[in-house]
Structure 1
Amino acid sequence: MSNLARGLLVPVLIGTLMVPVIAQEITIETMASPALANDDNPQTEDLSYTLYLPAGYEAAGDTRYPVLYLLHGSGGEADAWEDFWPILDTMILEGTVPPVIAVAPVTGNSYWVDSATFGAAETAVIDDLIPHIDQTLATIPERDGRALVGFSMGGFGAARYGLAYPDLFAAATLLSPALQQAQPPATAGAVSRGSFGDPYDPARWDELNYPAVIETYAAQDHRVPFFIVAGDDDWNHLSEKEDLPGDATRYNMEVQAVAFYTALHRENIFDADFEKWEDVPASPAELRIVDGGHDMEVWGPGFSEGLAYMFANGLSAPTEN
């Protein structure tokens, strides 16, 4: 493995007990991606990703591990998840969640979709990265062995992948997801960065946005539990004044998080029959609007609660051959 950064097994004194801090491996890897090599963007041929292997991982051992696919926010680099690794270490050490593999691909400002500007990012993750990980690591190579976590722009990607590929993923956690039920505001990165056409193409956004994908999701048999968290003090679009309309608070992330939860969990997307006052047939989801903004004060606790939620709602613990 390249650029190896190993966690050390260090004794820590807690009361009168010597407790070892978890030892893990975090490396930066690169793989050849046919999707990127064959798209129209000559600058993207390989896909890089950060790989987290839990303590005790043995490639030739009998244990098979679930995999978290971590989707970064705008402009993400290889270090996008460095604040999350200690949280994951602690959760595994304390037994809050079982040991997992984590894979964090790097796709810049792609919004995790295929585009001329950033290359075939979505196809690279779905068709190239996931099979590569299952072929080269001791994974549980089935949907109950995979889950998604995304923050900000990565929350858009995790929402899309969970709905578009429910046969691949058992659950998803969205941290301050950059979602818009309708067209995004003119100042959004989705409009200005080229992920949905350069110049921006509203039809391309509508094609890839979650309301369209929910239609196909509702027609198949799998259900993907979503854990959604957003801060009540996230960006207030009303403050952009002359750039946006007077009701621009509708773009706020906490407002859009509620809209996404409502679309999944309150609007009977399966068109099922039910009696008055009965629970509406729904796709499983949990929503948290918490005190905070667009940062780790929201994402750290949300990551912890989201991981626990996913393991309690379909994501498999490690298995033995």
Structure 2
Amino acid sequence: MKRLLVVFLISVWSLNVIAARVDTLQVQSEAMNKLVKNVVILPDNYDGSNAFPVVYLLHGAGGNHADWVTKVPAVKSYADHYQVLIVCPDGGRTSWYFDSPVDPSMQYETYVSSELVSQIDQTYKTIASPKGRAITGLSMGGHGAFYLAFRHQDVWGAAGSMSGGVDIRPFPNNWDIAKRLGTYAENKANWEENTVTNLVYLLDGRRLKLVFDCGVDDFFYGVNQRLHQKLVERNIPHDYTERPGGHTWEYWTNSVKYHLLYFNDFFGNN
């Protein structure tokens, strides 16, 4: 009997894993004059009659819109479990989700925070307010999620970062950041104005709910520690976790579960 029960439970779980619907939505970006692909994961019971909250899930440098759904297939089951839409935009291989002041082809702040959000709310039945929107991401996407949410608190009500590059200044020669902002030596203001840790002044501690974490073996560990300390000094409430791990998909596969649980509580309280 116990063996039959285990088989039944595994079968039910397997059905739940594949129950979610996965769309690839192409959105025209007027800011960049191109079509951008986005993965949209819909919970199994989505039929357009009820409004659902939305979690925007950003990829890292070198990735694309399909990273999360292919490398962490369980995100499909999380859409079912938490009854949310999960949107994974293509943020360019190294856009850093800025509106680049030096490269007009890289205007991903406008794309994600305005063009994409607007199109998602038009295409799907969503809770179209900050109470029904959250955003998180890994590495470059962790920076992007905090960057966008800090600057657009009228769009998102909760934000997270997994192993995020939350201070780009220690990495002036990495991941094409200089191609997006200009070199640090010649464009210091661009770097200072567009690094997450310098945007804490935008937070009032009441509107935007924050969760972030980083592995202790990660090269972004130090900048995440410093952001945590800065938020503590400013009395900005947040959830911050350090756990074993490096800059790996194994770490993010585990981390995203905690972020979605945090967002589920946020949506429930609203």
With normalisation by structure 2, the TM-score equals 0.86
> Which structure: greater helix fraction?
2
**Matching of residue 224 in structure 1 with residue 182 in structure 2:** no
Q: Name 2:97's counterpart in structure 1.
A: 112
Unaligned runs of 5+ in 1: 1-11, 38-44, 236-252, 269-281
2-structure distance, mates of 1:65, 1:129: 16
Unaligned runs of 5+ in 2: none
Q: Name 1:315's counterpart in structure 2.
A: 267
Shift of 1:13: 6.5
Shift of 1:198: 6.2
Equivalent residue in structure 1 for 2:44, among 46, 49, 55: 55
Question: RMSD of the alignment, in Å?
Answer: 2.5
CA 1:34–1:92 in 2, change beyond 3 Å: closer, same or farther? closer
SS at match of 1:81: helix
Shift of 1:222: 4.5
What is the letter of the counterpart of residue 25 of structure 1? R
Deviations 1:131-150 (A, max 9, x none): 11111101000101100111
> Structure 1 residue runs of 4+, over 6 Å off?
none
Q: Name 2:85's counterpart in structure 1.
A: 101
CA contact (8 A) 1:233 1:291 kept: yes
What is the letter of the counterpart of residue 190 of structure 2? R
What is the letter of the counterpart of residue 144 of structure 1? K
SS at match of 2:97: coil
Q: Name 2:226's counterpart in structure 1.
A: 259
Equivalent residue in structure 2 for 1:290, among 237, 243, 250: 243
Equivalent residue in structure 2 for 1:306, among 248, 253, 259: 259
Deviations 1:109-141 (A, max 9, x none): 100001243421111111211011111101000
Deviations 1:45-96 (A, max 9, x none): 222211111101112x2x1111111111002223211256533344455x4x
Q: Name 1:4's counterpart in structure 2.
A: none
**Matching of residue 155 in structure 1 with residue 148 in structure 2:** no
Shift of 1:226: 1.6
% identical equivalent positions: 27
Q: Name 1:234's counterpart in structure 2.
A: 218
2-structure distance, mates of 1:267, 1:185: 25
How many residue pairs were aligned? 259
Equivalent residue in structure 1 for 2:26, among 23, 27, 30: 30
CA 1:191–1:130 in 2, change beyond 3 Å: closer, same or farther? closer
CA 1:216–1:310 in 2, change beyond 3 Å: closer, same or farther? same
With normalisation by structure 1, the TM-score equals 0.73
2-structure distance, mates of 1:305, 1:151: 13
2-structure distance, mates of 1:16, 1:131: 42
CA 1:92–1:32 in 2, change beyond 3 Å: closer, same or farther? closer
SS at match of 1:28: strand
